[in-house]
Structure 1
Amino acid sequence: MLSTIALDTQVLRPGLCTGCGACQGLCPYWGGVDGRTVCFFDCERSDGRCQRFCPRMPTDLGALRKRFFPEETILPEIGPFRGLYLTRAADESIRSKAQHGGSVTALVELALKEGFLDAAVLTRSQGGLNPQGVLAVTAEEVRACSGSSFQVPPTLAALNKALQEDRYHSIGVVGTPCKTLAVYKMRANPLPENDNHAGNIGMVFGLFCGWGLDWDGLNALAEKHAGPVSHMDIPPSKYHSLELRTEGETVSVDLDEVTPLVRSGCHYCADMTAEFADLSIGGARSPEGWDVDKGWNQVIVRSQRGEQLLNLARERGVLEFKDAMEGGLEKLRKASQGKKRTAVRNLRTLTGRTEDLGYLNPSAALFEDL
């Protein structure tokens, strides 16, 4: 049996918490304050949804993969794989407010219109700052969530609330790798006697992610360099910067000033491409360079349902497509493998034992060559 104490001793205290919100909105005990997960009261339960859903509690990733994806589609570095594409929203009004190509906004909007979904849990922010999880049911509400934030809100608290209300029966979820893993743990229905209505989760859209930043630290950094921010982005590594856009001007902040703000839990994440998802989306990389790439997305198709939606987006002209760059998949696999190696190294340092990979231990065989 799990213990609720374990969530505190195994996740919060060692600095593994991702702030995803999977433990929030389920009971009065767990909540969030400015990106921090907080246990408000001691709980004597020996087990519960909070531990079962947490992406940093031990998880048999191999078994979870096999439950939801055909084994023959799985690539060891990036998970389930049915294809890699470069896409962008055909609607320029979507692209103008998007982080990159606007593919996520266009796909979620299409999924709502065509009945794939009847609601979607998204993240809404103010120019990338002070984000919050919201439930969107209209195209206007989806578009209000365009853009990204490098702060980490407890978005899944909004999902927990929607699931408990049992009002919508095909809810889409957009989230970073830690969040999408938590969603698939929910879908595995680990507590059948305590139904969380996870059957109402319709599709999952994963976001490529390197790391998230401390909530207060990023607010202070933005105020120091730019004041009110309308947009923020991190260009490819050769630029070594965080871009803050304000009043038509773009301010570049050296990453040496940004990286100390990386959340502790992100140092132990072994997933760059959101391997548990129907579709995973990130910024494009091609020989055309950043000025072109920042207007496009890379999209990994992981499931049959994800493939159906992407094909429909092509058929309806909702997305524009271009050929992925030669060798693009191998570069993606290499970068993802690099993040896994870093996570394994950091977990071994944290536990003090080479064979102890912390929350990855039930899945250690997946990482034995790292």
Structure 2
Amino acid sequence: MLSTIALDTQVIKPGLCTGCGACQGMCPYWDSVDGRTICYFDCERRDGRCQRFCPRMPTDLDALRRQFFQEETILPEIGPFRGLYLTRAADESIRANAQHGGTMTALVELALKEGFIDAAVLTRSKGGLNPEGTLAATPEEVRACCGSSFQVPPTLAVLNRALREDKYHAIGVVGTPCKTLAVYKMKGNPLPDNDNHAGNIGMVFGLFCGWGLDWEGLRTLTARHAEPEKVSHMDIPPSKYHSLELRQGGETVSVNLDEVTPLVRSGCHYCTDMTAEFADLSVGGARSADGWDVDRKWNQVIVRSEKGEQLLKLAREKGVLEFKEVPETGLDKLKGASMGKRRNGEKYLAELRK
């Protein structure tokens, strides 16, 4: 079966595509427009990188985990696990522009300075709208990517182009669970006759993710409640708030989540991974008994690999991150939330197979 036909029939048409960009940046056949993956031409290859790397094509996840992580560290609820931490960037200027505590920006910047990576594939957006993938090679370029977006850009197209150029040999990648899974598929499924230089991937930084939103739908929704060009930040607080927050100037506008959930991308309904299980380190917003006003300024970090452990230890030693104690129930709550998303995704997948 031709690779483009396989992706079209098994991923695009059923609505499984995540828009991650793993199929792009390698040839002129695949592209993305406002978060929608499109194919310009049929391909004659029967086994291509686009098909092998797509996170929605069939994958033996257990085998992939065992290939890259120590089996004794793998927890059934959240994947490879070497520790859970609550952290935030020590640098106030990073925190000021961050989604939460700025941990991800501080870690990627440290990894770049200390030689863990020599460049990083990141997402850059203004206020959360119209994001784009970018390759950062300096601390200043890393900091320019502070903040988050609920639109999903094809960031991995940037990675594919960087790998093809073979200029950087320890590239860091920051991405949501679908993107980090695709990166590990790249690392684990090389094509000997068509090398994608996956050995040039240095570290993988995962982002906790509930879902992404339709590009045009989010732009329209934002325009109904704020001036899009003036929005500097958007966030979704814990479920009890049932809202999307838009920060405009010094004010915050709350949008009822009932207006937001219809915009969830169809492919996100089938996702079973909340915490980016395929990564060296995974970072999300903090959850504790201190409440949202405190938690919104902190992150929770899962260490998954030895390299991730080394970087977090260095961040503590150099004072790059501030740490505070994880609540006794922190890990159990994280496991419960993760399993909730997994069950929901499996339910949608079962309905799809009927």
Equivalent of 2:276 in 266, 274, 299:
274
Contact 1:4 1:47 survives alignment (8 Å): no
Amino acid at match of 2:94: I
Alpha carbons 1:207, 1:280 under 8 Å: kept: yes
Report the count of equivalent residues: 352
Specify the alignment match of 1:365 in structure 2. Answer: none
2:307 to 305, 308, 324: 305
- Partners of 1:330 and 1:82 lie apart in 2 by 15
Where does residue 254 of structure 1 map in the other structure?
A: 256
The one-letter code sitting in structure 2 at the alignment partner of 1:186 is: M
Cα distance per residue 1:108-142 (max 9 Å; x no partner):
00001011110000000011000000000111100
Distance in 2 of aligned mates of 1:164 and 1:221 = 38
Q: 1:240 aligns with which of 218, 239, 242?
A: 242
**Secondary structure in structure 2 of the residue aligned to 1:27:** coil
1:21-100 equivalence runs, <5 A:
21-100=21-100
Aligned to 1:329: 331
C-alpha distance in 2, partners of 1:46/1:327?
49
Q: Residue 299 of structure 1: CA displacement?
A: 0.1
Identity of aligned residues (%): 80
- Aligned-residue Cα RMSD (Å) equals 0.8
Question: Is the 2:31–2:37 contact (alpha carbons within 8 Å) kept by the matching residues of 1?
Answer: yes
1:192 CA drift (Å):
2.1
Shift of 1:8: 0.3
Deviations 1:308-339 (A, max 9, x none): 00000000000000011111101111111111
Residues 204-239 of structure 1: CA deviation (Å, up to 9, x unaligned): 000000000000000111111011311000000000
Q: Which amino acid aligns with 1:245?
A: R
Whether the 8 Å CA contact 1:189–1:198 is kept in 2: the answer is: no
Correspondences of 1:1-370 after superposition (within 5 Å): 3-228=3-228, 229-352=231-354
* TM-aligned CA deviation for residue 247 of structure 1: 1.7
Deviation at 1:41, TM superposition (A): 1.1
Partner SS, residue 132 of structure 1: strand
Deviation, 1:46, is 1.1
The change in CA–CA distance for 1:98 and 1:283 in structure 2 (over 3 A counts) is: same
Give the whole-Å Cα distance in 2 for the aligned partners of 1:217 and 1:307: 39
Structure 2 gap ranges (5+):
none
1:2 Cα offset (Å): 6.5
| Secondary structure of 1:230's aligned partner | strand
Distance 1:312 1:163 in 2: 27
CA-CA distance at 1:3 after TM superposition = 3.5
Q: Distance in 2 between matches of 1:4 and 1:259?
A: 31
- Given the two structures, how large is their TM-score scaled by the length of structure 1? 0.94
Report Cα offsets for 1:146-201 as digits up to 9, x if no partner: 00000000000000010000000000000000000000000013312211000000
Instruction: Note the C-alpha offset of 1:351.
Output: 1.2
Distance 1:219 1:122 in 2: 21
Moved over 3 A (4+): none
